Chains A and B, each alone.
Chain A
Amino acid sequence: MAVLLPVGTRKGLFLLRSDDARKDWELEGPLLPGWPVYHAIVDPRDGVLYAATNSFIYGGTVHRSDDLGRNWERAEEIGLPEESGLKLNATWHVEPGKDSELWLGGDPGVLFRSDDGGITWDVNRGLLEHPTREKWQPGAGGMCCHSIQIVDETMYIAISAAGAFRSDDGGDTWTPINKDVAADFHPEKYPEVGQCVHKLLVHPARPDRLWQQNHCGVYRSDDRGDNWERLDGNGLPSDFGFGLALDAGDPDVAYVIPEVSGEQHFTPDDRLGVYRTGDAGASWQLTAKGLPERAWAAVLREGFAYDEGGLYFGTQSGSVWSAPRGGGEWIEAVRNLPPILSVEAAHV
C-alpha cells in the first residue's frame, strides 16, 4: 500500500507518493493550478480526494475528485443565509464524519455538512447562531473553523479566535470547552470563549484525551475538554506555534513545531526543530536529526500530519519533511514547492 500526502499550497495541490519505507517520494502536480488549497484529504471511506479551495477573486469552495485529481467537480453554492448578515470568507478544513457525512469548517467561524460527497452543503445552525458569537474575534488568518474532530457521537471544533467547542448531539448544540485556556490578548485572561486555538486533535485510541496548540500555550485535556492543563516550558523553547501531531499508538506522545511568538512567525533558535513529548507533555525534547540547523521556517496549522508509520510537515518555504514514527532522521521529501498551507497523510 502506498503512502499519499496531499499537499495544499498557495498555488495549487501537489501529491507526494511513497512506499511503506517513506524514503523516496514521487511528486505529482500542481493540480487545481492557481487555486490556493487550504486543506486537502483523501477520504478513507471511498478514496475521494477533497480540497478546500479559495480564490482571492472567486471566493471559497470545495473541489472533489473521484480519480485522485485527474477530473474535478466543484461544489454548488456554499453560502450563509442572508438573515445571518454574514458571508463566507473562506473554506478551511474538510473532515469525514459518520456514515456518509462530510464536514467543512470555514471563515467566519462556520461549519457545513454535506451528505452527497461535497456537492451541496448545509450550514450548521447551532454554531452559526451560537449565543457567544458576538464575543468571537478573527485571528490573523480570519475567523477560521480549522479543527474538526469526530469520535463516535461527539464532535469537537476549534475556531481562531473563538475557542474550542464540543457537541454531544450531532452538532445541534455546542458547549465551549476553554476552561483554564489562556487568552493573553483578551481583557479577561480566561474568558468563556475567545481563545485563539491554532490546532486541536483528539487521540484516536484514547478519545477522552485532547491536545491543542494555542496562540497562548500547549494544552492537554483528559476529560473531553472540560479541563485543560498547560504544558509548555519544560523543554519547549516557545509556547507559540501552529502545527500539532500525535502518535496513534501512544496517547502520551505529541509533537509541536514552536515558533518564536505571535509577532515573529518563524522557528526559534535559528533552526528548524520538532519537539516531542513522550510523557503527556511533562517534558519536551528536540527531535531534529536531518533538519537544517540554520533555518527560520514556518509551519501553518494544517501543515503537520501523522499516520501509523510516520510524521510529515510542510513549510511556508516549500519543503515537505518526513520522519519515521517515533523519531529518527528527517528526510526532505520535496523542496521548492509554493508556500505550503496543508499536509495530510493517506493510504491508497
Chain B
Amino acid sequence: MAVVLLPGTLAAEAGGQKRFELRAATVGEALRQLPVANLLFDEAGELRRLVNVYVDGVDARGGRLLDEPLTGDSEVRIVGAVAGG
C-alpha cells in the first residue's frame, strides 16, 4: 500500500486525516482516490499548477508526474507551492 501525506489545509478538508494508505499503481491513481481530489485537480482533470507532489522525496514534476509508478512502500507527499519570505 502506498502512503499519501496531506498538508494541513487539505487534511482539514479530509476530516482531519493527514495520512492515507492506498492501493494505486501511479501517482495519478492515488491522488484521484483522495476525498480532496477536486482541490488537487481542476475541471479539466489537470493537476493544479501550484500543487507539488513528491514521491519518496523526489519532485514528481521532474519525472512522469501523474504517471509516476508507485510501489507498495512508496510515500507520496503533497506540498502546496511556497512563495514569499
Contacts and interface: CB of A to CB of B under 8 A. Distances in A.
Nearest to B82: A57
Which of B10, B12, B13 has the largest count of A CB atoms less than 10 A from its CB? B13
A292 interface: no
A195 interface: no
Interface string A49-89: 00000011111010000000000001011111010000110
Contacts of B44: 79, 82, 87
Interface stretch (B24-32, B34-42, B54-62, B66-74): B34-42
Contact of A57 (B13, B38, B51): B51
Contacts, number: 45
Given A76-B38, A77-B38, A58 B10 contact: yes
B43 A34 contact: no
B9 A87 contact: no
Given A35-B9, A57-B9, A58-B10, 16 more contacts: A34-B8, A55-B39, A56-B50, A57-B50, A58-B9, A58-B36, A58-B48, A58-B80, A59-B39, A61-B39, A76-B38, A77-B38, A78-B43, A79-B44, A87-B44, A88-B43
Interface of B: 8-10, 12-13, 36, 38-40, 42-44, 48, 50-51, 80-81
Interface of A: 33-35, 55-59, 61, 74, 76-80, 82, 87-88
